[in-house]
Amino acid sequence: MAIDLRNYDSPEYQELKQIIEEKKQLRDPLIEVLHKAQGIFGFLPSEVQEYVSEHLGVPVNKIYGVVTFYNFFSMKPRGKYVINVCTGTACFVKGAPKLMQNFEELLGIKKGETTPDGMFTLSEVRCVGACSLAPVFVVGEETYGRVTTKDQLKRIVDTIKANAE
């Protein structure tokens, strides 16, 4: 069920409030709090940013700046699985653009978008430290290397979907 973002009494906001209280004493708690908030809500819409602003005492435009600067933060709902294609140098050289294109065609979405069924978000990351496996993509805890053809990708996507059901 979707979270009511205007209901500040919801369990999600209560959890966030508690986290903010705990982290408030840190020297620069903003990024950590935003990470936790994204973990709770799945994304960081303006309602959540305003809530963090008010409770953490940080101007909302600073929060907006941080959220839009780091691409691991998202203001749009993300899919159940985020496919992160590595676009670091080694992966780029070994075909990351083609890998991204194959995913876009396979899923019918562009980079940064989420499939209509809410299952997959296609995103990019910088080097994940597995350059010898380039080109690499990461889904959750799983790192996939040297998988490039659409058929191979389709099999992986189908397996993830099957396991999700």
Site residues (vs ligand FES, CB under 6 A): 86, 88-91, 127-131, 134, 136
Q: Which residue is nearest to ligand FES (CB)?
A: 88
Nearest-approach distance from CB 35 to ligand FES, in angstroms? 22
Asked if residue 41 lies in contact with residue 12, where contact means CB atoms within 8 angstroms, the answer is yes
Helix (H, G, I), strand (E, B) or coil at 90: helix
* Cα 134 from Cα 59, distance rounded (Å): 41
List the structure tokens of 153. 């990708």
Nearer to ligand FES, 79 or 145 (CB): 145
Nearest-approach distance from CB 91 to ligand FES, in angstroms? 3
* Cα 115 from Cα 123, distance rounded (Å): 12
Residue with tokens 């979907």: 161
Nearest-approach distance from CB 71 to ligand FES, in angstroms? 15
Nearer to ligand FES, 91 or 157 (CB): 91
